[in-house]
Structure 1
Amino acid sequence: MNQNKLNLNSLNFEKIADILIRLGVLFLLIGWCYDILKPFILIIVWAIVISVSLSPVYESMVKIFRGKKILATVLLALAVISILVVPSILVTKSLYDEIHNFTETYQANGHLIPPPGENTKTWPTFTKPILEIWQTASEDVSKVIMKYSDHFKAIGEWFLLALAGIGKGILQFIVSIIIAMGLLLYSNPLTTVSKNIFTKLIGKNGEHYALITVATIRNVVKGFLGVALIQSMMVGIGFFIAGVPFAGIFTIICLVLAIIQIGIGPIAIPVVIYMYSVTDTTSATLLAIWIGITLISDNILKPIFLGRGNPPAPMLVIFLGAIGGFIYNGFIGLFLGAVILTLGYKFFLSWIDIKEMTEEETIEA
């Protein structure tokens, strides 16, 4: 009897040891693979998001080119990269020109900031402190810088880090687009593999979650990120044509505010007010009309891209995802964070619905 117990204990120990060794090797391999892919994880995830978002466009292009997938992939890649790179070059050039002009004017002891125009005399009383700081800065900007040196230092450090992050983010975008085109080229087998992965991880509801993933990604990219990109491009065109100083910087800030669902108003409206005080009324009015159209376009574009009454997530989820992603992962996280957090939100709601449905079926049975 004791011998049988001893043999059984020995057999159990061998099985446990065998399982632990296998798990240890598996975790070691997974950890090793993760360390190797860690620098590319953001790029790969964003490439998957891009490929899912562009797959309907890609399929339409394949039909237009009569099944020539490589040609459709190359043209789509060039089109997407152009949409990304051309505005980036214009914004960078604008930033460089403004900084260069700023430096030359400072060295020549010129007026870095134009004084308040005649129109500012009719502004309300509560704007008097702003006008006083503006007037002081136009006479001698160093006085304002010295007075608010701590604030300018903090803003300057943040701004330099943000610019560096934007440059890195643009490079990551380009690499992600190239990877996304490869994923689109092999979309059919990859779709089957992704469904099998969801089924393996989740079970019988795996295909349901796969469909939720695709729908959520497309809704967020089209309805929020796409609208934010269109609005920032519209406001940027208006700034550049009107000759707004530091138009590139203001355009980038508008893009960030549009993505986090605050909107372009906090930047665009003060810029219009500023232009009324330093330029002719006709130019400022045309800019104001264009900015008004851009602000209204949000209420037109979102219902078109999302469908009326069908938002993928509350604004708070998009806001927290974009802000958290930007803090955690930089410029690319601004886009990816909104997608990932919305996806998690939709998964959670779907899990609750499926659980409740399962409990109701169990009670009925």
Structure 2
Amino acid sequence: MSTLPDPDAEFERRASTLLLDVLIRAALVLALAMLCYQVFSPFLSLMTWAVILAVTLYPLHQSVAARLGGRQGWAATLLVLLGIVVVIVPTAALMSSLGDSVQRLIHDVQNNTLKVPPPRASVAQWPLVGERVLAFWTKAHADLPALVQSMQPKIGNLASAALGFVAGIGGGLLKFLASLAIAGIMMAFGDGGARAIRAIFERVQGKSGADLVDLSTATIRAVAKGVLGVAFLQAIIVGICLLIAGIPWAGVLAVIVLVLGIAQVPALIATLPAIAYLWVSGNYGTGAAILYTVLLVVSGMADNVLKPLMLGRGVDAPMPVILLGALGGMAAAGILGMFVGATLLALGYQLFTGWVATSPEAPQVHTGRTE
């Protein structure tokens, strides 16, 4: 008498075999993805910033290409060369000034040639910290070498960190140059790249993939031009004016202006101390001091002109999101990560709020548009 196979056992065997096949395939795909990420990770911030630049500059690239008879490659090359002249050269000058200032300070501290002016008596009236600041300042004025010796090895570690920061800015500048060149290649083949990105989004998201592409593109351009671009250009303008006026630590003040610009804080906060230095240092005549004061005031208010030129509307992301992205990106990937982090975090915020808004039962979400 023949025994019929158990249907439940046969089903369980086939299901376990199928599940094992799926798990093995998933493990192989995961292993391949991890290996690819490990190979690509050193270039992640560089390539991400190249994509952001390409997306941001593509409308300008198309306009230039139309005037050159549709020559996409020539238009991309022209934009890359223009970016080197307008952005890289002034930034390199400011970073050189920053490096010289840091090295000069370290040299003066090590050789006991740094002089600290005496404090004013009004310092003691500062709330909470006035007496401590006055005591520290008085000791630095009276016997700076002893103060430096008492603060070792903290000053040594601080000097190493400062030099590392300057070196990191130099490395970020080289990465920016490489990203600009890669962005030029992407723009030269922009039509094919745009179709590929749209196809990927539609494959992942379905019919709403095209809307997601449009939202991502609009967010990247808004943040890159309306926040980062304005802050970067204003930092360069202020830095050049500081160099022309001969203000010490021009590179440091330019970096401060950059951070203030990303936080949407007026750059006059950084230029007002420079203006005060013009009048109290005694190194400038009245005419020169007036001229440089006007120059620094105008450069500190340049964002009021740059914002309408570079962006006609606000950025649909709260400013704390952009600032946290910039600071976190800088901590993770240096000066270039500042720009990448701000853009990516704003993009993630927009995609998340857009996903929440697609729910029919979701309440109206306020995006926190900043002007």
TM-score category of the 2 structures, normalised to the smaller one: 0.7 to 0.9
Given that 1:259 and 1:334 are in contact with CA atoms closer than 8 Å, whether structure 2 keeps it comes out as: no
Residue equivalent to 2:311: 306
Residue equivalent to 1:336: 340
2:81 corresponds, among 78, 87, 112, to: 78
Residues 277 and 113 of structure 1, relative CA distance in 2, 3 Å threshold? farther
Q: Does 1:199 align with 2:199?
A: no
- Code of the residue aligned with 1:344 in structure 2: it is G
Residues 95 and 194 of structure 1, relative CA distance in 2, 3 Å threshold? same
Residues 75 and 141 of structure 1, relative CA distance in 2, 3 Å threshold? farther
- The alignment covers a number of residue pairs equal to 355
Q: Does 1:31 align with 2:12?
A: no
Q: Deviations over 1:67-86 (max 9, x none)?
A: 12221121211111233321
1:235 corresponds, among 215, 234, 238, to: 238
Matched position secondary structure for 2:360: helix
Q: Does 1:286 align with 2:287?
A: no
Identity %, equivalent residues? 32
Rounded to whole Å, the distance in 1 between the matches of 2:347 and 2:191 is 23
Per the TM alignment, residue 240 of structure 1 is displaced from its structure 2 partner at its CA by 0.8
1:88 corresponds, among 80, 87, 91, to: 91
Per the TM alignment, residue 275 of structure 1 is displaced from its structure 2 partner at its CA by 2.4
Structure that is richer in helix per residue: 1
Q: Does 1:224 align with 2:227?
A: yes
Rounded to whole Å, the distance in 1 between the matches of 2:106 and 2:16 is 75
Given that 1:260 and 1:322 are in contact with CA atoms closer than 8 Å, whether structure 2 keeps it comes out as: no
1:49 corresponds, among 49, 52, 58, to: 52
Residues 59 and 31 of structure 1, relative CA distance in 2, 3 Å threshold? same
Q: Does 1:353 align with 2:363?
A: no
Residue equivalent to 2:180: 177
Given that 2:326 and 2:338 are in contact with CA atoms closer than 8 Å, whether structure 1 keeps it comes out as: yes
Q: How does 1:87-126 map to 2 (within 5 A)?
A: 87-95=90-98, 97-98=100-101, 112-113=114-115, 115=117, 126=125
Residues 244 and 151 of structure 1, relative CA distance in 2, 3 Å threshold? farther
Q: Does 1:212 align with 2:233?
A: no
Residues 356 and 157 of structure 1, relative CA distance in 2, 3 Å threshold? farther
- Code of the residue aligned with 1:342 in structure 2: it is A
Matched position secondary structure for 2:264: coil
Given that 1:322 and 1:336 are in contact with CA atoms closer than 8 Å, whether structure 2 keeps it comes out as: yes
Identify which range, 29-38 or 120-129, moves more after superposition: 120-129
Rounded to whole Å, the distance in 2 between the matches of 1:92 and 1:237 is 11
Matched position secondary structure for 2:233: helix
Rounded to whole Å, the distance in 1 between the matches of 2:22 and 2:143 is 75
- Code of the residue aligned with 2:190 in structure 1: it is S
Given that 2:356 and 2:362 are in contact with CA atoms closer than 8 Å, whether structure 1 keeps it comes out as: no
Residue equivalent to 2:264: 261
Given that 1:260 and 1:323 are in contact with CA atoms closer than 8 Å, whether structure 2 keeps it comes out as: no
